[in-house]
Chains A and B, each alone.
Chain A
């Protein structure tokens, strides 16, 4: 209220100064006044009205026509004043939404959190970074009583909150899978039924599910339309695509998934990713899978976690620190 009381005399002083000397300094004082008056929620029409009444006081002989002209200015300024207040209120709402989003992102982190298992003979690294607040990628590790390590990596077609909500459901479905040991193909078939029944038909989920048996060194896997990973053959120093055919989750209730199997030798690697990795867009277009392989090679002597961290940093830099899609990269490396 204090400001409003002295506003009139302050404005009068500004006006007199400027009319006397037309200096830049007087104008600068005007700018500072406007900050103050906005801060105290003085609307533009009030300023116009103040201006008019001061003019009458200071120049009693001012022509009527000039004074009338201020009525039009005042009428026009009302709309601006309202637009400004609406803007303020929307700003406030946006602030609230932002903090809600941050809380939601934390809740999601807790909900979807998975521990990267530490076991003898297999070095595992995983990184997952959302493009916005909420992550539409998901990965999950399970270690069963036979020491088999299962890994799931999934990607919802879509981003942001809807994708994140959908992922929470997948996580719940995976936690409720029957306890008895299931194979990757069986798990995908099971999840496919859940997704088909519970998720909006416009949402699709891709998933790769793999299981490593340290007893036999066999890796079993199946894929529901997920971005193919790589298999690295240490002996031949060769990469090949980990191709697996299968329909996306949620398309067709009775989808069957084919299961594949391969032996993992010491030094071999399994590289899994979401399409946010291969769809890293640079000025020259999407990165090639070869580029990704070059990066893996560059860091191949590091631990699996260090490799994925470094690759993320490289690709982040390549995209000028603007992620367009959620980014998830997992490496399983059999110890030499």
Chain B
């Protein structure tokens, strides 16, 4: 079962809207302040990547309910240039900012599950889930 709502990312302000959406859902589900902050940081990073590298895309927040376990899933999707070498961008120390942002490895750490699919020329899909403990 999942209920979904989305924010389109085109400019930097949309990142804030995506964060707000994520925070509202996280609060509703009963996540504590630390996890709320982790979830919004992850959303920020994914939205910022869309804004910077794909130009346009979507962040959707799903409420999950898996056999009584509640969770929140961030789904970032774009039709941008895609990522050439996924293994490389998932390595620590690779991000262009030189470790100032969380980057994709940071998103993986902040969340419980992380899935990435990307094809050069056709876009990137990232799904990251946090389960309520």
Contact = CB atoms under 8 A, between A and B. Distances in A.
A49 B32 contact: yes
Nearest to B32: A49
Contacts of A74: 33-34, 37
A90 B106 contact: no
A75 B38 CA distance: 8
A121 interface: no
A45 B34 contact: yes
Interface stretch (A18-26, A77-85, A300-308): A77-85
Contacts of B34: 45-46, 49, 74
Interface string A73-107: 01100110011011001100100000000000000
Nearest to A45: B34
Interface residues of A, number: 16
Contacts of A79: 41, 100-102
Given A89-B92, A90-B92, A90-B93, A82 B109 contact: yes
Contacts, number: 41
B57 to A, nearest CB: 23
A95 to B, nearest CB: 14
A314 interface: no
A85 B110 CA distance: 11
B33 A71 contact: yes
Contact-residue size bin, chain B (C-beta under 8 Å from the other chain): 10 to 19
Given A49-B32, A86-B99, A90-B93, A78 B37 contact: yes
A232 B21 CA distance: 84
**Majority secondary structure, B binding face:** helix
Interface string B22-51: 000000000011100110110000000000
Contacts of A75: 37, 40-41
Given A49-B32, A79-B102, A86 B37 contact: no
Contact of B105 (A45, A46, A71, A86): A86
Contacts of A71: 33, 37
A85 B33 contact: no
24 contacts: A46-B34, A49-B34, A71-B37, A74-B33, A74-B34, A75-B40, A75-B41, A78-B37, A78-B38, A78-B41, A78-B102, A79-B41, A79-B101, A82-B109, A82-B110, A83-B99, A83-B100, A85-B109, A86-B93, A86-B99, A86-B105, A89-B92, A90-B92, A93-B92
Interface of A: 45-46, 49, 52, 71, 74-75, 78-79, 82-83, 85-86, 89-90, 93
Sorted nearest first, the 10 A-B pairs with minimum C-beta distance are: A82-B106, A49-B34, A82-B102, A89-B92, A86-B92, A78-B41, A45-B34, A74-B37, A90-B92, A49-B33
Given A45-B34, A82-B106, 6 more contacts: A52-B33, A75-B37, A78-B41, A79-B100, A82-B109, A86-B92
